[in-house]
Amino acid sequence: MIPYKIVGTSNYRPYVAFFVTVANVLLFVYVLIFAFLGGLSLEEVYQNYALDICAVQAQPLSETLIDGIRSIFLHMSFLHLTSNIIIFYVFGSRIEEHIGRLRFLAFYLLVGFGGHLGHLLFDGGSCAEPLYMVGSSGAISGIIGAFLFLFPTDRIKSKIVILKAFNYDINVPAWVYLVYWFFLQFFYQVGSVAPRINVHWGHVGGFITGLALIFFLSFFIAPPRIPRI
């Protein structure tokens, strides 16, 4: 089930969502080229550039912040990247429209760090080996939490493709799709290159952070009055 459009969209142009999507793609391409030219595996690249939750207490705050931001834009595989940016662009565009461009960029980074914090609180205590944060899944879980809070009954145009025999569109209520996606993260890990990369407490932390932030912002930000098609 692949979401591709929210029923009742507007003419709003989500520039920040587009920029973040492009940045994720370009960084993934850069990592592949860097790994190929340097004769490195993706796991070795992540060891140099991703946030190691187990090293947070032993390194400067500035290094933690830089590694944390990089980790939000890194991905483990093409499948991991594709699934994340589809979810992000479809649902993030509406959140950007609702809270504004600069707030949305700050929101994206904050929920990403909320995902890091989820790992640190629930899995960082068992550090027999490094635990690297790779992927925007924590940030996207925060986007999903915000969308579920703001637009639980909106309908999502989704495509179901099973080989070539079945290829049709359905409209799914947002709360059904988003709850399904969220709980799926407990049982499914996409294309991991190492067992200690991208475990799922980050999704939980991002989701809770997204709910908390959008609840707080809803007291101060009025919904935009934009005609929907």
- Domains of the chain, by residue range, sit at 2-217
- For residue 179 the two structure tokens come to 């709850």
CATH value of 2-217 in 2.130.10.10, 1.20.1540.10, 3.40.50.40, 1.20.1250.20: 1.20.1540.10
pLDDT, tens digit, 9 for 90 and up, residues 131-172: 778 878 889 889 989 998 998 888 888 777 665 555 667 788
Q: How would residue 46 be classed by pLDDT, with cut points 50, 70 and 90?
A: confident
pTM of model > 0.85 = no
CA–CA dist 99, 86 (Å, integer): 20
